[in-house]
Structure 1
Amino acid sequence: MNRPRLFLVTPPAFDLDTFVPSLEAALSGGDVACVLIYRPDTDGRTLQTIAERLVPIIQGAGAAALIYNDTQVAGRCGADGAHVDTSLEDLKLAVESLQPAKIVGGGGTKLKHDDMEWAETGIDYLFIGRLDLEEKPEPHDKTLSKAQWWAELFETPCVALAGSDIESVDAAAATVADFVAVKDAVWTHADGPAAAVARANAILDSHEFPDAE
């Protein structure tokens, strides 16, 4: 049997010393496939400092560490890969420079045609959902419909972005996406990040589906 795995996304802004214990707690809560270090408004030097601190923690917990929109930092800090959503050309460059040694993912597109074009670059996963939009408790309807469409028709793994309520992992997992991404649902959970990750995994365990033959 198989089931979706958890894809954590850091807050877009945080104090590094304060965030480290939160990250460690989240990673102690259960299975986490990867963590995207998502700092969209951070300069390269600061991002490098953050990545050098967080990447070993993430990898030490058995998860993959991904850097948002900076392939150079991804390479320099020993991350497992990069997530690119700026443009198709940037994504092609990332694939060319990082694969096959490292993971390259992308997404955030608006049209299904764009999704297919991005997947044709050879990316390792397609991220469905917009990281730059304000989170609501439930996943956006477009995210759910597109993730279900993608999971049914295409081989490239997909990530479905859940909402700010940890229970929304259920709706995202029901699309049969390979991964479910969570942001605020983990970092702002009333019982803490470890409890949030434990709850997310309990929900994902209820979405086991047969392995492909």
Structure 2
Amino acid sequence: MTQTENRCRLVLVAPEIADAAQRAGVVADALRGGDVASVIVPQYGLAADAFQRHAEALVPVIQAAGAAALIDGDTRIAGRAKADGLHIAGTAEAIGEAVEKHAPRLIVGAGNVTSRHQALEIGDAGPDYVFFGRTDGDVKPEAHPKMLELAEWWASMIELPCIAMGGTDVQSVVSVAATGAEFVALRLAVFADPAEAALKVAEANALLDEKAPRFDAE
């Protein structure tokens, strides 16, 4: 395993920016800051045609940086944009249908998981990961305590990887990593000031390098 592969890694949630080219530019800048495992691209209320334009602008930028591009919710747009996968905030049944239809050709992740019961049901549906919290759930500097508890419980019991939503402060990656979660997601902590996005990614990776527990090599 490499330095980053054996500890919690960073996942970015693309910011809400109306102009597709500007949004892609901001994400590209952030990805220059260091290791990012994947970028989730939310729709943020865009109409389908506008969301497709955004996806087509963002996906190649994300992939060029070596990260996986995950489209939130829309399987058709994910296919048209040649994304690496889907992030679906749905029922266990919806996740199972997506897995059956799209895996392993596409990554299928389960989002907005907020309880143990829901996590176990969705885990049985066979996604590639479960995401504790909402992609826009970074409302305080620290990660939500309930999401930390869920991530710690899951990571201690289940081999299926999990992502936990961090807070609006980059320092929140430390508490997420301490749960044993494989990934920590950041949105506003990186993108609140687009000019500092690359610096924030670099800071997050430095914190994870220094403080995240290491996973055992297999």
TM-score norm. by structure 1 comes to 0.94
Deviation (angstroms), 1:178: 0.4
- 2:217 counterpart of 1:209: no
Structure 2 counterparts to residues 164-179 of structure 1, below 5 A: 164-179=168-183
Cα distance per residue 1:159-209 (max 9 Å; x no partner) = 011000111111111111000100100001486100000000011112141
Distance 1:115 1:63 in 2: 25
Distance 2:16 2:156 in 1: 31
Check conservation: 1:40, 1:68, Cα contact below 8 A: no
Structure 2 counterparts to residues 144-183 of structure 1, below 5 A: 144-183=148-187
- Count matched residues: 213
Give % identity.
46
Distance 2:215 2:134 in 1: 29
Deviation (angstroms), 1:44: 1.8
Query: 1:3 aligned to 7, 29, 33, which one?
Result: 7
Query: 1:104 aligned to 105, 108, 111, which one?
Result: 108
Q: Which runs of 5+ in 2 are unaligned?
A: none
1:15–1:191 distance in 2 versus 1, CA, 3 Å? closer
Three-state SS of the structure 2 residue aligned to 1:6 is: strand
Three-state SS of the structure 1 residue aligned to 2:66 is: coil
Look up the match of 2:142: 138
Look up the match of 1:64: 68
Moved over 6 A (4+): none
Distance 1:55 1:130 in 2: 21
Deviation (angstroms), 1:145: 0.6
- 2:41 counterpart of 1:37: yes
Cα distance per residue 1:6-49 (max 9 Å; x no partner) = 10001244322322221111110000000000124122211111
Query: 2:85 aligned to 81, 84, 96, which one?
Result: 81
Three-state SS of the structure 2 residue aligned to 1:35 is: strand
Look up the match of 1:119: 123
Deviation (angstroms), 1:85: 0.4
Q: Which runs of 5+ in 1 are unaligned?
A: none
TM-score norm. by structure 2 comes to 0.92
